[in-house]
Structure 1
Amino acid sequence: MIDLTLLGCGGGMPTPNRYLSSLLINYKGRKILIDCGEGTQVSMKIANTGFKAIDIICITHIHGDHIIGLPGLLGTIGNSGRTEPVIIIGPHGIKEAVEGLMTIAKYLPYEVRVIESPKEDLNFIDEDIKISTLELDHSSPCIGYSFYFSRSPKFDVEKALENNVPKYLWNKLQKSNEEIIENGITYSRSLVMGEDRKGIKLSFITDTRPIETISKFIDNSDLLVSEGTYGDDLDEKKAIKNKHMTFREAATLAKSASVKTMVLTHFGTAMAEPKDFLDNATEVFENTIIGEDRMTFELKFED
């Protein structure tokens, strides 16, 4: 099971009623944070998410509302007693940005490793999580993220017996990808495990125009967290000018990609009540949810 906390749903600047767009993923007791604007730590404190177990921080782009909270967060992680490395992933320019921000987050008790503009998929947490990125269309280099949580196949007793695998090796082969040689015979995990099972796909897209490549990137996501900076269809010209999306544009992407559920976030400061514009999304993609600060979700593997 994957636990998600939408820490904030605002864009541009935090307001008294809305923190900046950020998402926290909790999987197997480890955490991945997506974006870290001003006030992210406060929302985390309110939600009681903890800080020490954050292994990876994914930054979409280097605008203040997505990264300015980073140095404070890194310091808090250090104060929590963490000594393991923290990985920061981001678009072109992230290394320079982190170096600059680190001038106020010196002397951390752990190593900060930065991955800039990854060209290949990245695997983390026992290779159970595959992180993919996509270049988006914003006013500065920006990337979207897709997370695929794989699921191990079930142990297949009949298969193990058919392949004459000794019972005392079953547990070892089930838990390891390494081959075992016994009495001159090589035994591998494939001899005792069943077919692969469907994992869970989570996608996070902000800030961008609705370019064609997004649809394939988010295809069949169990959950899509998407920006919806403008709720009113009449604001499409503003969305084009500022390289953002309207609710309807985000919904069109969700429908084209056959995602299961979409959560809208990154609401512009001028939009006091995003729910007033929900119909503009649901007319296109019915399973749309208006995000709220510290809204939580559970994504479960299918039986």
Structure 2
Amino acid sequence: MLDLCLLGTGGMMPLPNRWLTSLMLRCSGSNMLIDCGEGTQIAMKEKGWSPKPIDIICFTHFHADHISGLPGMLLSIGNAERTEPIHIIGPKGLRRVADGLRIVAPELPFEVIYHELEEPVQQLSFGPFVIDAFKVNHKVTCYGYRVSIRRLGKFDAARAQEQNIPIRYWNRLQHGETVTLDDGVIYTPDMVMGEARRGLSVTYCTDTRPTPAITEMAKDVDLFICEGMYGERDKLDNAKKNRHMMMYEAAEIGAAAKPREMWFTHYSPSEMRPDIYKDDIWKIHPVKFARDGWTKDLTFDDEDKD
């Protein structure tokens, strides 16, 4: 299972009833955070989730509304007595920017490991998370993220028996491990496992003009979270100038990608009631106008369950 919380939905600046955009995901005891603007700690406390288990922090880009909350977040994680390393992912220049922010948080009880993105598409894996970072089109280098939880095929006991594989090795093979015996005999997972089944996936994308990469990375995902910066169609010139996306443009991406569900986030401070555009947007694609604290539990398809 993958559960997530959209901690905040605001762009540019926090508002009294809207924190800056940040997404937290949890799976199999491992947690990851995407973006950490001012107020993210408060939003997390309001949700009742702890920062201590955060293993990975991903940044889309280095504008303040997406990264200025990092020093306080790291201090909170340290105060929660975490000692395990934390991986931080972001565009090239990440170490320089993060270390600059860490001047006010220089001593931490855990190691910080940086992963700088340089390719248009780059994949990293940590624990249960497979992270596909993809470059989008903003005024500075910016990435979107597709987070996937893969699922192995079903274990076929009959095949294992036909090949005389001892029962004591079945569990290891079922969990993807290759077994090598002292006499040189090798048992591999593909000998007893069926085809990989549909896993879980979430795509998160803000601060960009529409690009083909977004459509590709949002195809058939369980949840597509995309910026809906402006709803008024006469703000298109402003969106183009600042490299942001109109709600109707994001909805068109959703219509092409066909995710199982789509949420808007990263609203302009001027959009105090973004859902007033629902009738117009739903003519294109049924998008939900997310609010701070929205959560969702994603589970594997029922027909695929053992």
Tell me, yes or no, whether TM beats 0.5: yes
1:162 Cα offset (Å): 1.7
- After TM superposition, which residue ranges in structure 1, 4 or more long, deviate above 6 angstroms? none
What aligned pairs does 1:19-58 form with structure 2 within 5 A after superposition?
Answer: 19-58=19-58
Q: Which residue of 2 aligns with 1:247?
A: 247
1:183 deviates by 5.1
Aligned partner letter, 2:173: L
**CA distance in structure 2 between the partners assigned to 1:196 and 1:217 by the alignment:** 19
Q: Distance in 2 between matches of 1:149 and 1:200?
A: 5
User: Match of 1:250, SS?
Assistant: helix
Q: In 2, distance between residues paired with 1:176 and 1:87?
A: 24
Structure 1 residues 49-97: Cα deviation after superposition (integer angstroms, max 9, x where no partner) = 1011000001001111000000000000001011111111111222111
Match of 2:85 in 1: 85
CA–CA separation in structure 1 for the residues paired with 2:183 and 2:138:
61
The aligned residue for residue 216 of structure 1 is 216
Residue identity matched to 1:204? Y
Q: Deviation of residue 182 (structure 1)?
A: 6.1
- Calculate percent identity across the aligned residue pairs: 41
- Deviation (angstroms), 1:285: 0.7
Contact 1:247 1:280 in 2 (8 A): no
**Where does 1:72-111 land on structure 2 (aligned, <5 Å)?**
72-111=72-111
The answer as to whether partners of 1:165 and 1:191 remain within 8 angstroms in 2 is no
How many angstroms apart in 2 are the aligned matches of 1:72 and 1:272? 28
CA-to-partner distance for each residue in 1:1-21, whole Å, 9 max, x for gaps?
A: 110101000001000010001
Counterparts of 1:181-196 in structure 2 under 5 Å?
181=181, 184-196=184-196
Distance 1:280 1:240 in 2: 20
Normalising by structure 1, we get a TM-score of: 0.95
Read off the aligned partner of 2:266 and give its amino acid letter. Answer: H
Please list every run of 5 or more consecutive structure 2 residues that lacks an aligned counterpart in the other structure.
none
**Pairs aligned (count):** 300
Query: In terms of mean alpha carbon deviation, does 28-37 or 114-123 score higher?
Result: 114-123
Return the offset for 1:211. 1.8
Q: Which whole-Å deviations, capped at 9, do the CAs of 1:127-168 have from their partners, x for residues lacking one?
A: x32111111111111111111210122221111112221223
Q: Would the aligned equivalents of 1:118 and 1:133 in 2 still touch at CA under 8 Å?
A: no
Cα distance in 1 for residues equivalent to 2:184 and 2:111: 44
Q: Distance in 2 between matches of 1:116 and 1:182?
A: 41
Q: Which moved more, 1:196-205 or 1:216-225?
A: 216-225
- Aligned-pair Cα RMSD in Å: 1.4
Q: Which runs of 5 or more structure 1 residues have no equivalent in the other structure?
A: none
Amino acid at match of 2:61: H
**Partner Cα distance (1:297, 1:259) in 2:** 15
Is contact 2:178–2:186 with CA below 8 Å preserved after alignment? no
Partners of 1:184 and 1:295 lie apart in 2 by 53
1:124 aligns with 2:130: no
Partners of 1:274 and 1:252 in 2: CA distance: 17
Opposite residue 299 of structure 2, the aligned amino acid is K
Q: Is residue 57–residue 87 contact of structure 1 (8 Å, CA) maintained in 2?
A: yes
Alpha carbons 1:51, 1:76 under 8 Å: kept:
yes
CA positional deviation for 1:110? 0.3
The answer on 1:235 being equivalent to 2:235 is: yes
Question: What is the rounded CA distance, in whole Å, between the counterparts of 1:161 and 1:114 in structure 2?
Answer: 46
Tell me which residue corresponds to 1:291: 290
- When normalised by structure 2's length, the TM-score is 0.94
How far 1:195 moved relative to its partner?
2.1
Instruction: Kindly indicate whether residue 296 of structure 2 is the aligned counterpart of residue 301 of structure 1.
Output: no
Secondary structure of 2:42's aligned partner: helix
- Structure 2 matches for 1:129-278, cutoff 5 A? 129-181=129-181, 184-278=184-278
Letter paired with 2:234 = L
